[in-house]
Amino acid sequence: MDEVRIFNDKQGNMPVNQSNDKVVMDVRDITKSLPLGRERIDILKGISFQIMSGEFVSIVGPSGSGKSTLLGIIAGLDNPTSGQVLIDGVDITRMSEGKLAVVRNNKIGMVFQAFNLIPTLTAQENVEVPLYVGKHKGAPSTRAKELLNLVGLSHRLEHRPNQLSGGEQQRVAIARSLATDPAFVIADEPTGNLDAKNGENVLNLIAYLREQTGKTFIIATHDPVVASHADRSIRLVDGLIAGIDIIGGKIAR
Ligand SMILES: Nc1ncnc2c1ncn2[C@@H]1O[C@H](COP(=O)(O)OP(=O)(O)O)[C@@H](O)[C@H]1O
Ligand SMILES: [Mg+2]
């Protein structure tokens, strides 16, 4: 498909030929409210969508629309006030902290706006870190080198974060997110601290990794141009889904 094709579909259904039809994440009527003085504020007001295996989905909306809160909930870092998040059919919102920690370590890789690398460790050591939590096959050093090669940083193994550019640091963070071979990579404003060119490189890397690994990528961004790199974009406004755009083929930029 060569032409840009965007249309709204509030159900969020994929056209039949777009993706693998296995639902890997089923988000059901998520709400989140927090006390604020004597009142409560409603941050998420009933969010439902499904994500298919191998999809690249963006969650886009203005600052304060609830993107980070939603990502925290689908990544098992935060509890919703109500609703369910089913990952491979299992509701993670009802899990004990111990079981949830195993799900996070095995199934979910995270990427953050500010990279969140450990400053005293080399690139290779940063990528190895998740492999020292829980049980994983193979030598961490071998796996870290492979992943840094995959993100184009085999010449930066011994560099520490302050010896790397922002774009390079984010590529290390992406390699780290893949270390435990998770099903999902969840990234909150992954290009937020990068200039346009490095941001574009990171997005192209994510698209490439999706093709290479078949993993499911979910990114949150306030930037519609960034969001348009995904297969599908879920638009959040004020804690609600305003629409879901399916982006057919490569979007012209
Ligand atoms: N721990 C918190 N306590 C109070 N308000 C919060 C908290 N976390 C988020 N919020 C509020 O919830 C709204 C959504 O925040 P957030 O999920 O960070 O949005 P986004 O990532 O889209 O910018 C904002 O109005 C924010 O101020
Ligand atoms: Mg945010």
Which residue's CA is minimally distant from atom 26 of ligand 1?
64
Q: How many angstroms from the chain centroid is the CA of residue 58?
A: 8
- Ligand number nearest CA of 67 is 1
Atom of ligand 1 nearest to the CA of 65: 22
Which residue's CA is minimally distant from atom 8 of ligand 1?
69
Q: Taking the CB of residue 230, how many other CB atoms lie within 10 A of it?
A: 26
Three-state secondary structure call for residue 51: strand
CA-to-CA distance for 243 and 141, rounded, in angstroms? 43
Report how far ligand 2's centroid is from the alpha carbon of 25 (Å): 21
Number of H helices, E strands in the chain: 7, 11
Q: Taking the CB of residue 19, how many other CB atoms lie within 10 A of it?
A: 18
Which residue's CA is minimally distant from atom 4 of ligand 1?
34
The protein residues having their C-beta less than 5 angstroms from ligand 2 (an ion) are 67-68
Domain boundary assignment for the chain = 54-76+96-248
Ligand 1 binding pocket, CB closer than 6 Å: 34, 43, 61, 63-69
Q: Which of 67, 69, 78, 234 to mutate to test the pocket of ligand 1 (most atoms within 8 A of CB)?
A: 69
CA-to-CA distance for 101 and 91, rounded, in angstroms? 14
List, for residues 36-83, the tens digit of each pLDDT value: 999 999 999 999 999 999 999 999 999 999 999 999 999 999 999 999
* Mean pLDDT to the nearest integer, 105-109: 94
List, for residues 142-165, the tens digit of each pLDDT value: 999 999 999 999 999 999 999 999
Q: Which of 30, 39, 43, 77 to mutate to test the pocket of ligand 1 (most atoms within 8 A of CB)?
A: 43
List, for residues 182-239, the tens digit of each pLDDT value: 999 999 999 999 999 999 999 999 999 999 999 999 999 999 999 999 999 999 999 9
Tokens representing residue 69 in the block: 């809160």
Specify the CATH number for 54-76+96-248; select among 3.30.565.10, 3.40.50.2300, 3.40.50.300, 3.50.30.30. Answer: 3.40.50.300
